[in-house]
Amino acid sequence: MRQLKRQSVCLLGALSVTGMLQAAPAADEEPLALKRGCMNCHAIDAASGGGRKVGPYFVDVAKRYAGQSQAVETVAERVQSGSKGLWLNQGVRVPMPRNPQVTKEEAQRLVAWILGLK
């Protein structure tokens, strides 16, 4: 019983930490996205002007992966190693080449920012 109590306190602690992490808004990584060349092929949304570039709008990426907690890692891997065919339904026919100029950590920061866009 005593053991059980300790475990649940622990679990509660872990849950509130995760809750805090999720509540914290991702940092604005647009400057990094500009520096790493992402914005040559992507626009944030239709309102940013210039229309859709070769890649999907970042707000559409956010919509697609909304509520998927595993998404940051998976999508960041695609940013690093390239992606094709996932956005055909949005009229995107060209693949995204590899982006060796971003580190894994940068790719994850960029994707956390993208997935938090509204």
3-class state of residue 96 by DSSP = strand
Phi/psi for 96 (5° steps) reads: -95, 120
User: Is the CB of residue 110 less than 8 Å from the CB of residue 32?
Assistant: yes
**What is the smallest separation between the CB atom of 36 and ligand HEC, expressed in angstroms?**
4
Binding of ligand HEC by 86 (CB under 6 A)? yes
Q: Which is nearer to ligand HEC, 48 or 83 (CB)?
A: 83
Q: Which is nearer to ligand HEC, 43 or 92 (CB)?
A: 92
Q: Please enumerate in sequence order all residues whose Cβ is within 8 A of that of 53, keeping only pairs 6 or more positions apart, or say none.
A: 40, 41, 42, 43
Of 52, 46, 47, 65, nearest in space to 113 by CA: 65
Binding of ligand HEC by 108 (CB under 6 A)? no
Binding of ligand HEC by 40 (CB under 6 A)? yes
Residues that bind ligand HEC (CB under 6 A): 33, 36-38, 40-42, 54-56, 61, 75, 78-79, 83-87, 92, 94-97, 99, 102, 110-111, 114
